[in-house]
Structure formats: C-alpha cells, structure tokens
Structure 1
Amino acid sequence: MVATTAVTAALILLAGCGGDDKKSESGTDTGNNNQSTTSATPSTPTAPSFDPPKAFAPAAAYPAIEEKGQSSLDEAQMGIAGQVALVGNWAGLKGHDVANPTNRWTVKSAEAETTQVYDASKPMAVKVDGKDVAVVAYAQGDKGNGTQKPAGLVVIHWVDVLTGKKIAEVSAKVSTMEGTGDNGGPNIKTQAFDPETGQVAIGVTTAGSVMTGTYQTVYADPKTQKSTIVPGMNPAAVHGGVVAGAKGKQEERAADGTVLLVDGASGKVTKQVPLKQAYLNPLGGGAQHAYFYGKKYTNYDAGTSTEAIFAVNLSTGAVTQTAPTVPQESDITTECFADQASAVVCMSKSIRSGPEELIGFDDATGKKVWGFSSKSASRVVPRVTAAFHGVVYAQTEAQPVLLDAKTGEDLPSGSSSASPSSSDSPSSGDTPSSGDSPSDSNSPAGNESPGNGDMGLFDGKARSPEAVSPYGGVYKQLPTGTDYGSTVKVDSICIFLKPTA
C-alpha cells in the first residue's frame, strides 16, 4: 500500500476530459491524412509527476469531436496513460501529450470498408516492456469479402502513447452475423485488465444472446498477440494470465451462479467455485482477488433474499464474503475500483439518490477493512470516480474529496480557487504557441479534434478525475456550447488536471 499521510496541498479538480489473430503493422493510423504529428523519439519537456497525485490544477481542455454517423450512445470515453490524455470512441483513439502539445495522434478503430464498428471500451492504461501503453477494445462486424462469411469480432489495440504507434493488435471472432442484420454484432459489456502486463479480458454478448444474458470472454495478451475465447463467462478480473469471471443463468429462480478461474492462454477452466447465486455480477478485481455481487432468494414466493460481495482469490479460489449494509434494490448498482496497490473500494449507488455505501477491502486478504453508508450519522457518502496507489478520488455535491484507500479516512486538503491562476495556467511548454498551433498541413479536418488545450471550453466547475496517473488526471465535461464551424460539433470535453502535489 502506498503511504497516504501528511497531505497538505489542495485538490483542485476542474471540469473536462472530458481465435483469429493478426499482428499489427509497424506504423500508426493517424487523423491527419494518415500522417502522425509524433516522432519516434518523444520530445521534452516531461510533465511533472507525483505518485500518487494529491492535488491538481487545470492545464488543458481537449474537445472530442462528434464523428459522422455517431449516435447518442457513442459518446467519447476519457483516460490517461503516463503523460498522455486519451479520448476514445467507436471511431478510434486520440492521444494528447500533456507536456508536448505538438505530440498528438489518432489510431483508427478500423480501416477496411467492409468493417463496421459497433462499440468501444473505455481506454485502459497499462505497462508493456516498461512503456506506457493504452489499450482499447472494439466490437466490430466484418461484413465478409470473397468467400468469407460475415462475422462478429472483438479487436484489441495496444498503443505506445508517446509515439502513437500500435505495438500489438489481436482480432477474435466471437459470432457469425449471417441473417442477423445490422444489429447482429457483439456488444461490449465488461472489461478487465492487468496494468502490469497489458493482458485484457473483454466480456461481450453476441447476436442472439442478449436476451438470455449469455456472455463470452475474450482474453488477449500483447506479448503473444494471441486471443482465447471462454464461452458463457462474464469477466471480473485478469492478473498474471489468470481470468476470473461469473457464469450462471442470471434468473430469480436460479441458484447456479458460479465463479470460474481460467488459464487465459489456453482457455482451460482450472477452478469452479459454486456460489449458488441467482444473480452473480462481476464488479472488478485487484492483483489477488476478483470481486462479485451475488444475490439469492431464500424464499422466492415471500420475496426474501440474501446478498453479498464475494472476494475470490485468483490463485486458490478461496472465498471471502461481505454483506453490504444497504440492500441492493432494483435501482442500486455496485462498482469496484482497484487502486493498483493493495486496496479495492466498492461503491453502491442509487440511480435516483446517488451514492449509498462505500466498502474498502484489503486485496491481500479479500476482507472488508472499512466502510460507511448513507445511514452513517457523521459522514456523507461521496461518489467514487477513481482510485490510484492508495488514494480514492471522489466527488460530493459540494466539492471533490480524497480518501485513504487503506483506511477510508478523509485526506487533508487546502482551499484554492477553482479557476486556474497564473501559476496553474499552462505555460509556454504546456500551451500551444503560434509555432505549436496546427498549420494548414495538419489543421483539423472533418472529425479531427481542433486545437490543443483550449481552456476556453472549461466550464469552471470543480470535479474529481475519472482516471489518474502519476502525471495527472482527466475527466469528461459536457460541451459548453462552443462548436468549431457548422460541420464540426463538440461531443464532450476532456479536461486534463496537472498534479501539483
């Protein structure tokens, strides 16, 4: 656990950020006529870093441009890997180096005209061979060519964020699309990743399976560039090549909810842990445990049931069970955040009334070590947005807050202006100068994000980051009404938060 004491700086959070396998090409797909604005050797300066960051100042705002053909369900997703802010959607992934505005790139989700993209995962930050790498998964439909039948695919890209080049690509065939029409492609439902190796596990539903809740898990490894498909499983965690997921009918009268431990490389089930739940939903995972929410009926006709959060050891299959104090009703959902150190924090929240309960787990044991709920007399339950190296980043109605991931205690914060001061505003090394601004040859065209670090898009409201690295944080802000011409519309804004302590 990373120490989280003696924090004195202010937290200033401002609106923004917003198998068939094939090896990737050595080059990168880019948004400027397939020409990258990056160089093989990343240029200086390097962004300031703190591990973990405990205070922020606004430094840049990156507009996510609405793509042609984009639906209301295709909003951009934000992330950060190393010192590169990430903006992704079904059309591809964009990177903005926060220390070098000229280093920006685009990697398209697909090139072939016969490929249709249906969905994209949130960008994931990992390390591969010591490099900061962004991972994104796409649900695609290959319409077929020649004698090949149409097929549903999960395609995963690993991108070196400093160069904008794909270092690996894996394509896994998950379903056929023949006779299913345009809506027959796979849908991404869950995602899990190992930040230490870049291995991922993507849970998808496929044509004909959405109503029955049948899942497939696609495991992929950037080192081997191979994929494995595990039928009937919805993943919660992946670490060191081991995938943990849930299997079962997911029906009120069922009692077959089971956790599977799977060797990712071979797809072989190594352990089955029958929890006998009617519903068993993956919540997330740390390095040692996968976490699931389970519910079963003790008397279905009377409507009585029990529920628990189950922590399942990824090596032994041993189970630790924790009962939440707030029952999970129809409008309450639970989500877990691993801090990539030794803590996992789970939040239950109501769609109508907001956060209801926080529970902190020691990932080494899978046991609850702290928690409080909306019934607690002295504390407000914040909405957790991220966790990183011992710190929980969260939002209350009044302000962003920090919690110690190990104890749940509030971390001290000072007070500061929400608006960037002269010291917080991007310097000449952070903000495009006249020489850094896009020229005619690389200015945005069509769906390319215009500008870099346009703080005029920031709405001035303080918020908690949705993704964090030692180099800062990002989160998504809704548009402020600023568009770039009649043919270019802003979907959302990615705000980068520079770490100051």
Structure 2
Amino acid sequence: MLRPLVAVTAAAVLLAGCSGGDDKKSDSPPGGDGTNASSSSTPTPTVAEPQSFDPPKAFSVVAAVAEARPDGPTELDGGKAGMVGKTTLYANRNGLAGIGIEGGPSWQVPAKEIASTKVEAYSRPMSVQLDGKEVIAMAYTQNVEAGGTQKAHGQVVFQWIEPVEGKVLSTVSVDLGPVTSPGNTAAGLASTTYDATTGQLAVGVGISANGDAKKHDVVTVFADPTTKKGMAIPGIEAAGVLDGTVVGAKGESGEGSKAMSIVVADGTTGAIRKNTPVPTMNYLHVEGTGGKHAYLSGSGSVKDGKYDTDYLHSMYAVDLASGALTETKLQRTEDGSFGFTCFSDHVTSLVCNGSGDRTADGKDITEILAFDDATGKKSWGYTSVSGSRVVPSVTAVYNGYIYGKAETLPAVLDAKTGQDVPVPTPTPAPSTGQTPTDGTSPTDGTSPTDGATPTDGTSPTDGSTPAPGSGTWGDLSLVYGDPVSPEAVSKYGSVYTLGAAGKSPGSEKILVVQKAIA
C-alpha cells in the first residue's frame, strides 16, 4: 500500500459545480514509544504551501492514486479516505497510508504487528487533539488465532499518529476475552466515536460466536491515548465519549422488544452511572456524536386501528457532560425500515439523511435534518415530499458546512441554517483532451508533469493498467465520471474515492485528492 511518488507540479482541474522536515524512517514496529512503521527514504521535495479556507467552499483536483488491495479476501466496499490538516489518508485492513496534499514522501503504519493476527475491521481516519496538536486516530478490530489449547480471541487496537511523518505517538490494545465467551471473536465496528479535545476513543464492536455460546452481541471499548489504558464494557454500543464518560445503547433490538435503554458509563472503570429506559422503542440505533452530545435514533411499532401498524421515530440527544437526555419526536411512518445516516463536525452540528417509507405513488421518501449540538435539538430539515428543494446525499460535515451531492452535482450547505452556500463558478477543462499543470505547459497525463524521475525508481503510470498501488502523485488520468462530493475535508482540501475496476485493475480504490480553492 506504500505509494510510489514522483516530484511534480500538481495539475489543477476544477470540479464542475462543487456547489454545494525531513523524511525519517524507523525499522521498529508501531508502538506507544514513539516508533513508526515505514516511510520512503527519498529527500523531501520543495513544495509550495497550500492555501487554506476554514471552511472551504470549493475544490480543485490535484492528484489521484490507485491504492493496492489489502491482504485477505476482497471487501465489497473496502478502503476509507481521510484528511487531517495537510495530510491525505487512505485506510484498509493493511493499515494507514498518508501523504501531504502537495506530494512529498509518503508513510505507512501497519494495522498489526504479528502476521498471524487477522484484521477484521477498521475505522475511518479521525482528526483529534493530543497534547494540543492535531493528530490522526485509528481503531482496528483484530482476531488472534488459536494456539495450543487456547481458543481464538478478539482484540481492539487503537493508534494515534502524527500526520506529517506517520510517527506513532500512542497505542492501546484491549483484549476482549475477559468480557466474551471462550472462542468468541471480534467482528465489525458497530460504531466509532471520539472526543476531539482529548483524543479519547470509544468504539462498539460486534461479537462473533463461532459455534460457541455468546454472552453479548456487542461490546464497547474505550481507550485513552494519554494514560495508554483501555476498558471493555459488555452489552453496550458506543454512541459518544467525552473526558472519560461514555454514552451508549443497551438492549437487544427487535420487533416487540421493550428492553432498550440509553446508558452513561465511566470509560476507565466500565461502571454504569445512569440507565434510562426507552420502552416505546423496539429498535435503538447509534447515529453519531458531536462535541457535546451523543445521538441515537429509536423506532417502535404502534397499532393504528385493528390491523394496521405505524412506526414512531425519535432522535435522542444525550448531554455527554451531564447525562441529560433530549428527545426530538419525528414524523410517523407506515414502514419500520426508515433509517438515518448521520455526520458531525464535532463543533456545531449533526446532520442526517433519512430514507425509507414509500409515498402513495410508490416512491421512497428521503429527508435531511440537522441538530444544533449546543442544545441537542433539531434546528432545520425537509423531505423530498415536503420541500421544494432537492434533498442532498450528505458525505461530510466540516466546521459548519455540509458537503453532499444533489442529483448530479456536489452541493455545499450551511449546517446551521440549511441554506445553500454561494460558491465560485468553476473553470471548464480545456477541450484539447490535455490537462493543464500550472497554466503554462500542458501534459497528457503519461509522465510526471515536471519531467522528474520517480523518487523510488519506479516508472510513472500512463493510466492504462497500473499495478496495484502504483498510481503516481498527480496522475489525473485515473479520475473519471461526474464530480464527487468529498468524503473527508480539512481547511486545505478534501479527498474522495472511486472504484478502480476498469481504470486500474488489481487496485482496491482510487483516492482522489483536491485542494481547497475558495
């Protein structure tokens, strides 16, 4: 997954619409003692300081990289993009790779230290503070294979990584064996939450029985990068964490279930401080966490006459500091499958897309709704049938701006008001089929834009069939299709991913990098 690089003058192509030191290397494995994994040994090229906009309104594509597939079976939707400061990131089961938005040496931090350990799932790269500096946080669920008379068992590994050189600043490993039955292993990440100020993480982990009895379906695991300690809390799915306090969902969801509750726990000891039942809800889902609140959605069936059934829906916001709960009742539906996908900037807002319940003419209803994280209450929202506007599909929220896609083009909205944010008119790409570099001389995408030789001795790709992970920095021939809304944003730019099939056979995904331009 380590990326071959070339020193280039990055080519800039506007997305249509878009509305809406030194290279250091360590041979030691990643750990909590300040070691790092691997870094290219080439000298750092001289690059211009990227502009910053906080938050950015529009972006310009500058690079694309074909990312290698990880070890093991191919995932249906593998690979997660991220961006922390000036560093673009790509995570999969192999680990995390990073490179500055202007190019330069890349680095890679592996997900595991022992080859026989199997990585089951991984988080999206998260931006948190550690000792007053912005760092990357990652979480992995792993399974340690059976040995001798010992059965296999699961664990969760957390890493906090310096973004420029990939230096591992802290690690925490939590064994799930003490809170699960022998032979049970870790499955996927049911939820991932973080405290942006302290860097603390709390994740919900699904448990696989593997033919044995199972005590719990889910376990919450808390980790603190400063103390380097963790705790497994059984039977809870994490919904939020703040300064050692964890909020989560408890109980087994299902039609007719009346045992759902929202709990507040001490992350360092696992002790339950508060348990609030929600008996009207058959299902309770973790939706995300803000800076001050954890959010969960509930749905429950209720008889409407003798035979018909309607479904109640509510969003619960839990104050992470006090444990106070605020309920926002949402519109009833005739279909219990109505669900939400939510995003938070950990500053001002949680923004959700809802979908499900069909109208009389058979169309699905889509919805967008936002919550003010200062109060935990709904601030605005509309549906595809109640409003005169298109409901955008949200992909990211950053510092008060919503980034999403409305029909065919990206859109940017104000998270506090829901109004469209005016953005610059994009400059169309030249009609010659060539891609301009810096406005002086064109390139056809078959060689590095400044004629430089690749720094690691590899040949630049021509965009036809590059080997896995061999996309060169600035290889815009890998970009295709309609403009795509960003998956992760910083004040310097954004990233998104494309499927690699047909463009880069053998690769997992194509990571597209964009500079902020307005």
Partner of 1:3: none
Partner of 1:470: 491
Structure 2 residue 58 is matched with structure 1 residue 91: no
* Cα distance, 1:237–1:405 mapped onto 2, change above 3 Å: same
| 2:401 maps to amino acid | V
Question: In the TM superposition, what is the alpha-carbon distance from 1:145 to its structure 2 partner?
Answer: 5.3
| 2:473 maps to amino acid | N
Structure 2 residue 296 is matched with structure 1 residue 292: yes
Runs of 4+ deviating beyond 6 Å: 209-213, 351-355, 423-428, 441-446
Structure 2 residue 472 is matched with structure 1 residue 458: no
| 1:27 maps to amino acid | T
SS at match of 1:325: strand
Q: Using the alignment, how far apart are the partners of 2:441 and 2:344 within structure 1?
A: 33
Question: In the TM superposition, what is the alpha-carbon distance from 1:116 to its structure 2 partner?
Answer: 1.4
CA offset digits 1:10-35 (Å, max 9, x no partner): 97549xxxxxxx953432222xxxx5
Partner of 1:114: 116
Q: Structure 1 residues 300-309 or 415-424, which shifts more?
A: 415-424
Structure 2 residue 249 is matched with structure 1 residue 246: yes
Residues 137 and 158 in structure 2, CA contact (< 8 A), matched pair in contact too: yes
Question: In the TM superposition, what is the alpha-carbon distance from 1:154 to its structure 2 partner?
Answer: 0.9
Point out the structure with max Rg over C-alpha. 2
Residues 395 and 403 in structure 2, CA contact (< 8 A), matched pair in contact too: yes
| 2:201 maps to amino acid | V
Question: In the TM superposition, what is the alpha-carbon distance from 1:360 to its structure 2 partner?
Answer: 1.5
Residues 53 and 499 in structure 1, CA contact (< 8 A), matched pair in contact too: yes
Structure 2 residue 344 is matched with structure 1 residue 338: yes
* Cα distance, 1:26–1:42 mapped onto 2, change above 3 Å: farther
Partner of 1:498: 515
Pick one of 360, 363, 375 that aligns with 2:370: 360
Question: In the TM superposition, what is the alpha-carbon distance from 1:398 to its structure 2 partner?
Answer: 2.4
CA offset digits 1:232-251 (Å, max 9, x no partner): 11111122222111001212
Structure 2 residue 222 is matched with structure 1 residue 219: yes
Name the Cα RMSD after superposition.
3.4
Q: Using the alignment, how far apart are the partners of 2:376 and 2:282 within structure 1?
A: 22
Pick one of 318, 321, 324 that aligns with 1:312: 318
Using the aligned pairs only, state the percent identity.
34
* Cα distance, 1:441–1:478 mapped onto 2, change above 3 Å: closer
Q: For 1:44-55, what aligned pairs fall within 5 Å after superposition?
A: 45-55=48-58
Residues 313 and 332 in structure 2, CA contact (< 8 A), matched pair in contact too: no
Structure 2 residue 62 is matched with structure 1 residue 59: yes
Q: Using the alignment, how far apart are the partners of 1:194 and 1:302 within structure 2?
A: 43
SS at match of 2:331: coil
Q: Using the alignment, how far apart are the partners of 1:10 and 1:316 within structure 2?
A: 44
Question: In the TM superposition, what is the alpha-carbon distance from 1:292 to its structure 2 partner?
Answer: 0.8
Tell me the TM-score normalized by structure 2. 0.82
Residues 354 and 383 in structure 1, CA contact (< 8 A), matched pair in contact too: no
Structure 2 residue 350 is matched with structure 1 residue 324: no
Residues 63 and 494 in structure 1, CA contact (< 8 A), matched pair in contact too: yes
Structure 2 residue 381 is matched with structure 1 residue 371: yes
SS at match of 2:227: coil
CA offset digits 1:167-218 (Å, max 9, x no partner): 11111111468656xxx44322211112222211111111229999721011
Q: Using the alignment, how far apart are the partners of 1:362 and 1:455 within structure 2?
A: 39
Residues 345 and 399 in structure 2, CA contact (< 8 A), matched pair in contact too: yes
Structure 2 residue 402 is matched with structure 1 residue 399: no
Q: For 1:232-271, what aligned pairs fall within 5 Å after superposition?
A: 232-271=235-274
Q: Using the alignment, how far apart are the partners of 1:196 and 1:432 within structure 2?
A: 40
SS at match of 2:247: strand
Q: Using the alignment, how far apart are the partners of 2:104 and 2:357 within structure 1?
A: 41
Question: In the TM superposition, what is the alpha-carbon distance from 1:131 to its structure 2 partner?
Answer: 3.1
Partner of 2:27: none
Q: For 1:403-482, what aligned pairs fall within 5 Å after superposition?
A: 403-417=413-427, 419=429, 422=436, 433-435=450-452, 437-440=454-457, 448-479=469-500, 481-482=502-503
Pick one of 47, 66, 73 that aligns with 1:70: 73
Residues 37 and 105 in structure 1, CA contact (< 8 A), matched pair in contact too: no
Structure 2 residue 40 is matched with structure 1 residue 26: no
Question: In the TM superposition, what is the alpha-carbon distance from 1:365 to its structure 2 partner?
Answer: 0.9
Question: In the TM superposition, what is the alpha-carbon distance from 1:480 to its structure 2 partner?
Answer: 5.8
Question: In the TM superposition, what is the alpha-carbon distance from 1:397 to its structure 2 partner?
Answer: 1.1
Q: For 1:171-190, what aligned pairs fall within 5 Å after superposition?
A: 171-175=173-177, 184-190=185-191
SS at match of 1:114: coil
CA offset digits 1:384-413 (Å, max 9, x no partner): 111111111110112111111001111112
Q: Structure 1 residues 412-421 or 400-409, which shifts more?
A: 412-421
Residues 140 and 158 in structure 2, CA contact (< 8 A), matched pair in contact too: yes
| 1:250 maps to amino acid | S
Question: In the TM superposition, what is the alpha-carbon distance from 1:450 to its structure 2 partner?
Answer: 4.1
Pick one of 274, 279, 283 that aligns with 1:279: 283
| 1:491 maps to amino acid | E
| 2:228 maps to amino acid | Q
Question: In the TM superposition, what is the alpha-carbon distance from 1:285 to its structure 2 partner?
Answer: 1.3
Q: Using the alignment, how far apart are the partners of 2:438 and 2:337 within structure 1?
A: 40
Question: In the TM superposition, what is the alpha-carbon distance from 1:127 to its structure 2 partner?
Answer: 2.3
CA offset digits 1:443-482 (Å, max 9, x no partner): 9998655422321100052111111111111111112623
Partner of 2:197: 196
Pick one of 78, 82, 104 that aligns with 1:79: 82
Tell me the TM-score normalized by structure 1. 0.84
Q: Using the alignment, how far apart are the partners of 1:306 and 1:65 within structure 2?
A: 45
Q: Structure 1 residues 226-235 or 371-380, which shifts more?
A: 371-380
Q: Using the alignment, how far apart are the partners of 1:166 and 1:307 within structure 2?
A: 43
Q: Using the alignment, how far apart are the partners of 1:426 and 1:73 within structure 2?
A: 42
SS at match of 1:456: helix
Partner of 2:132: 130
| 2:329 maps to amino acid | A
Q: Using the alignment, how far apart are the partners of 1:58 and 1:467 within structure 2?
A: 14
Residues 192 and 284 in structure 1, CA contact (< 8 A), matched pair in contact too: yes
Question: In the TM superposition, what is the alpha-carbon distance from 1:432 to its structure 2 partner?
Answer: 7.0
Partner of 1:17: none
* Cα distance, 1:36–1:457 mapped onto 2, change above 3 Å: same
Q: Using the alignment, how far apart are the partners of 1:123 and 1:340 within structure 2?
A: 15
